[in-house]
Amino acid sequence: MLRLYEKYLEAVDDFLVKCFESQKPLIKCKPGCSICCEAGEYPFSRLEMEYLMEGFLALSISEQQQVKKNIKNLLLEKASFNGRFMHKCPFLSSDRQCLLYERRGIVCRVHGLAYFEDVDGKKLVKLPECSRLGLNYSEVFDGKEVFLEKFNEFGVKAPIQQSLNLNFFQKELLKDVYGLEFGEIRPMLEWFINTEA
């Protein structure tokens, strides 16, 4: 199943490369920028988590120990936290690189893009968090409002028309071609509760 999932990810990546390319003038993503990895819940399906953990086993012993320590500390923080627990990804290295970049989840692959999301029957633009920090899409966003007419000034037609949420990737985009079952979706940390992280 995981080898089939790798084939599926190749198709997902091909699709996302085109999305990023179409938005390139408004994208500031680069190696070492880890804003999207600093505060999130990182929803992962069972299949994505199995794939991630297969990669974890190939990390060096010291990297595995660091990730385990990160997870343990985050679970302790989460236990005494009320509300939505936003946290740094435990797989982010001290030099702000993803230790499992090639195995990252779909939510991680989509980070950085703006797209239309259907919310209560309205089409709203979903922006990456870094837009509030003067990075991606900051030229068309003033901190409160997205100015769709400004996209053309940068050679971009509009945000991605397709909602790039997990539902799209797991239920619509080529899923039937590969016959994959993604399983339950949970925030990443919840996959480690009651395990020996």
For residue range 86-102, what is the model confidence (pLDDT) as tens digits? 999 999 999 999 999 99
All structural domains of the chain with their residue ranges: 2-192
pLDDT at 180: 87
pLDDT at res. 105: 96
Query: Residue 25 has what pLDDT?
Result: 96
Q: pLDDT at position 197, please? A: 53
Residue pair 25/114 in contact (Cβ under 8 Å)? The answer is no
Strands 185-187 and 115-119, how do they pair? unpaired
Cα separation values, 112 from 27, 55, 83, 134, 197, Å: 7, 23, 25, 12, 29
Residue whose token pair is 């660091």:
66
Q: Residue 122's beta-bridge partner residues?
A: 119
Token pair for residue 42?
Answer: 């990182």
Give, for all 197 residues of the chain, the pLDDT tens digit: 899 999 999 999 999 999 999 999 999 998 889 999 999 999 999 999 999 999 999 999 999 999 999 999 999 999 999 999 999 999 999 999 999 999 999 999 999 999 999 889 888 999 999 999 999 999 999 989 999 999 999 999 999 998 998 888 887 776 667 788 899 999 999 999 877 55
What is d(CA 148, CA 125) in angstroms, rounded to the nearest whole number? 9
Q: Which residues face 87 on adjacent strands?
A: 40
Q: What is the predicted pLDDT for the residue at 174?
A: 64
pLDDT of residue 32: 84
Confidence (pTM): 0.92
